Structures are given as structure tokens and as C-alpha cells.
Structure 1
Amino acid sequence: MPSIDLGNSRGGERDFIQSIERGFAVLHAFDEKDPTPTLAEVATKTGLSRPAVRRILLTLQRLGYVTALGTRWSLTPRVLSIGQHYSSSHALVDAALPKLVEIADHTNESASLGVLDGPDVVYAARIPVRRIMSINVSVGTRVPAYATSMGRALLAWAPRETVDTVIAQTRFDRLTSSTLGGAEELHTALAEVRNLGYALVSAELEEGLISLSAPIFDTNATVVGVLACSTSTGRHTIESFRDHAAKCVVSCAEQLSSDLGYRPQRD
């Protein structure tokens, strides 16, 4: 069964409720590749027995989160309420939206807010542009931190133990011919990000995709998210996109950090 990383929130084993872990494992079995799995397919994905999966699915059905489609199962729109509650209860999302609009208007490119969750970055908010892009992302989409500008901007100023944990959980798959290949290369890339003040990544997550991200700090000088802007190699070179977007993205991230109470130390 796939493990769900609970980070520091997981207490002792006595406080760990395995049935909840199994319930979330079943929910995670519904994805883009298989949005309507059978009971047997869910059991295979999660490593749980078919009777256990059946009980969990029936419970989720009774709660309104899944529905039966013959022998197959599907999520219901009610699962969106979980993400909605997250957005409504986190000031970061509300505070970031005007900055995302500003970035999208200035660059005429898609703008996103990303947060770190284990070895992945999760899109917490997004302002798309009306243009066909090869990468299909929406709020809740997860991408690997190591191969994205958002992930590198989040990790560049993160505590060393956070970076070490992400590296330990990362497989460093070669997603494209340009994807960096391991922990040493990632550390080098993070040092460059700190030097620049932002992360710029081209064709590492997907061929033809360029993205630029800047960190958001809270009042404790902790990185709580990133603002990002993305384009395609058909519209920009790396250099032209840097000239086009970097100043705006960094400025918006700095303004948002200030709104959250961050005051940078001056030399």
C-alpha cells in the first residue's frame, strides 16, 4: 500500500489511526490515468485486500465521496470541498490571488501558487491564460519538487532537514533529457537559486516547458509558498523569459511576503 507522508504531524504509533490511512490510500487510487477503477484495481493499487477495499468504498459512498458505476467506482464532486475548505481557511491563497492576476496580466502567461508537500509541489491556486499548453495543471495537481522551478524555490531557503527529507523521498527519474540526475546536482541548483533570488527551469519536467518561481516568506522568515509563471519554448527562450517575467514575479513575491509580515534582514 502506498504510504502517505504525514511529516512531523505524525505522533507515536499509538496515535496513528490505520483505518484513516487506508481510506486516504483508496481516495488516492483515483487519478488521471484511471479515474474509474474497479474494486479489484483499487485493491491492486493500494495493496489492501478486496474485502477491506469494499468496506472503505461503501463507507465513502455513504459519505458521498464516491459513487458506483456498475463494476467501477468514481469520485463525486464532494471531494472538491476538501480543497475548497483548505483554500478558504488559508490566508496565503487569498493573499496570493491578486499577485497571480498581476503576474498573468503583466506577462500574458499562466501564474501559479505552489506549496511543498513531501517531495512534491502542490498547486494551491492558478490563473491560466487562454492558450493551449502541453502541460495540463489545475489546483491540486502535484509535480515533483526536484524537477520544477517551484520546488527549487521552495527548497532553496528551506531548512537542511527538509531538503534532506525531500531528497530521501525522491527517485530522481529522468523525465526529459534535461532533468537533473541526483542529489548532488539538486544541491548545486539550489545554491544557484539562492544566488539569483529565484528559480528558472527549462524542459526538465516536460519538453518545451519553461517556468520561473520566487519564494514567499512569512513573518518567521519561513518559506511558505512560491509564485510561479510558466511559458513554452515556442514563445520564449530561457533568456527572453527571464527578461520578460523575473522582475515581475520576484517583485510580487516580495510584496506578498511583506503582506505576510516578513521583514528581510539588511546587511
Structure 2
Amino acid sequence: MSEQIDNDRDYVQSIERGFAVLLAFDAEHPNPSLAEVATQTGLSRPAVRRILLTLQRLGYVAGSNGRWSLTPRVLSIGQHYSATHTLLEAAMPRLLKVAESTQESASLGVLDGTDVVYAARVPVRRIMSINVSVGTRVPAYATSMGRALLAWGTPEQLGPVLAQAPFDKLVAGTITTVEQLQDELAKVREQGYALTSEELEQGLISVAAPVRDASGAVVGVIACSTSTARNTPEGFRAHAVPCVLEAAALLSTDMGHG
């Protein structure tokens, strides 16, 4: 069980601000100025300056000609996550088997708030408009990975999604209400896996199955995705679901379940 913050005295605001500055670096702002970081974070320029200089001294950012960039040391944060989570190491051979069997990309997803984060991935050479790599976040309500995680999730996991997810209409087929999501989760529990078609993006079909640990809790999902240019939802269901279910069951066994 995770430790909860009892009161405001336990909350270190400077850490929150430090991470806000790090997260201000993204695809649209790979080399921001101090002023741009301040705008992105809502922090004052003096506060941003102090944080950037501290991060520079620690080796996480570099400054040149008034612009700032992340350094490779930032990658070590993700490496620490991988080193302390046996799920990632155990998942790779299972993902490779799914990708080889289906000739489609295979992924491991974990839940983080209202989003699913790609924790591991075996890509194939396909072109889709969504740029997916390890660390990519996608909304749980509109994805097969999210539904497979939420269908057997705890109230603490499902509650924030139902209360806080925006339910934006990403494409024509996206579900947009709590009631629709609850109906979909009931279907997922009944069939043992989730399948979505053109809900996150046009032309994308995906299936996902839950991975359980020794206690039976769902700790991740194995997913496989394709394009409507290559498959139909029913064709992909017949082709990919058995592979994904088998991989998820084997990974669950690897994690001590069963």
C-alpha cells in the first residue's frame, strides 16, 4: 500500500516545482528559454532560474545562449524505474513473441492516474499518425489498454478516471460519457480482454489483456495494435486476441500468479 500525505507539512513544494520545470521540456519546447519555461510552468522567472541552475549543477539540464536543454542524465530516472520493476524485464520476451506472431507492434501498459503509460514496447515498421514510444501517455478511457486495466482495477484506480477524465471526443468513435465507459468495462470483464477500434485515432485497432501479480491484482496489460488498412476489428480479434491472451497469462505466471 502506498504511503499517503497526511497534511500540507508533508508536501515539499520545491520538488513539485522542480518536476514541473523538467516536464516543461517536450516535443514543442525542446530548447526553451527561461521565459518560456516560466510561461509553461506558471512559475516566476526568478524561481525558474534558481531551479534551472540547480538542475544544471546536478547534471540534468544544460544551458547555452539563453536556451536550455535536457541532458542524457534524465534517462537514468527511467532506468531506475526499470531496475526496480521486474515486470518490465519479464515482459520483453512475451512482447517479442506477440510481435513475431502477429507482425504487429506489441506493448506493455501501466496505469498512471487517468492515463496509460507505455512501459515497454516492441515496434514493427508501420506508419501510424500516433507517435508511440516508451513513456508515451494515452487516455485510459479511449484505449484497449486503459479498459483492460480499469475493468479489474481497484476503486482507487477507477475513481479518478470516472471523476477526472475529460472524455473528449478524439475521433468520431470515441466514447464520451462515464456510462459508456462503465458499459465497456462490463464487456471487458465478460470476455477477458479489451478491443477498441478507431477511438483513440482514426484507423487504429487495438486489443489488450490484463497481467496479474502473485496477489491477483492487475499490474499491467499486454496490448497489440494494427491499422484498419490491414485488418478489420473482427479479423484482428480472431488473429491477435489468442496471442495477447496467451502472452498475458504467461507473464502473469512469471509474476507469480496462478
User: Match for residue 3 of structure 1?
Assistant: none
| Aligned residue identity for 2:231 | H
> 1:142 matched to which residue of 2?
137
2:243 to 242, 245, 248: 248
Give the drift of 1:47.
1.1
Alignment partners' CA distance in 2, 1:198 and 1:64: 43
1:67 maps to what in 2? 62
- Cα distance, 1:175 vs structure 2: 0.9
Separation in 1, partners of 2:149, 2:193: 10
Q: CA deviation at 1:44?
A: 1.4
Residues 214-266 of structure 1: CA deviation (Å, up to 9, x unaligned): 00011111110000001111111101111110001011101111221212xxx
Does 1:161 pair with 2:163? no
Quick one: which amino acid aligns to residue 79 of structure 2?
Q
Q: Does the residue aligned with 1:227 lie in a helix, a strand or coil?
A: strand
Runs of 4+ in 1 over 3 A off after TM superposition: 7-11
CA displacement at 1:76 relative to structure 2: 1.2
SS at match of 1:212: strand
User: What does residue 125 of structure 2 align with?
Assistant: 130
Specify the alignment match of 2:181 in structure 1. 186
> What is the identity, as a one-letter code, of the residue corresponding to 2:247?
C
Give the AA of the match of 1:229. Answer: C
2:46 to 43, 46, 51: 51
Give the counterpart letter for 1:205 in structure 2: L
Q: Secondary structure at the match of 2:165?
A: coil
Q: Distance in 1 between matches of 2:65 and 2:33?
A: 9
Q: CA deviation at 1:8?
A: 5.7
Tell which deviates more after alignment, 8-17 or 169-178: 8-17
Q: Secondary structure at the match of 1:109?
A: coil
Amino acid corresponding to residue 66 of structure 1 in structure 2? V
Is 1:225 aligned with 2:220?
yes
Aligned-residue offset at 1:33: 2.1
Q: For 1:201, which of 192, 196, 199 is the aligned residue?
A: 196
Identify the residue that residue 31 of structure 1 maps to in structure 2. 26
TM-score scaled by structure 2?
Answer: 0.96
Output the CA distance in 2 between the equivalents of 1:219 and 1:183.
31
Structure-2 separation of matches of 1:32 and 1:205: 20
Distance in 1, Cα, partners of 2:5 & 2:34: 29
Which of the numbers 35, 43, 54 marks the counterpart of 1:40?
35
Task: Determine which of 140, 146, 160 is the counterpart of 1:151.
Answer: 146
* Residue 87 of structure 2 is aligned to residue 92 of structure 1: yes
Which of 137-146 and 64-73 deviates more? 64-73
> Distance in 1 between the 2:170 and 2:6 partners?
35
Structure 1, unmatched stretches of 5+, are 1-6
Deviation, 1:14, is 1.5
Match of 2:7 among 9, 12, 22: 12
Q: Match of 2:108, SS? A: strand
SS at match of 1:41: helix
Kindly tell me the number of residue pairs found equivalent between the two proteins.
257
Helix, strand or coil: the match of 1:68?
strand
Equivalent position SS for 2:80? helix
Identity value in percent: 65
What is the CA–CA distance in structure 2 between the aligned matches of 1:130 and 1:109, rounded to whole Å?
Answer: 9
CA shift, 1:9, in A, is 4.2
Is there any run of 5+ residues in structure 2 with no aligned partner, and where?
Answer: none
Deviations along 1:57-107, whole A, 9 cap, x unmatched?
A: 111111111112322211111111111111122100011111000000000
2 CA distance for matches of 1:138 and 1:173? 23
Partner of 1:4: none
Distance in 2, Cα, partners of 1:75 & 1:162: 32
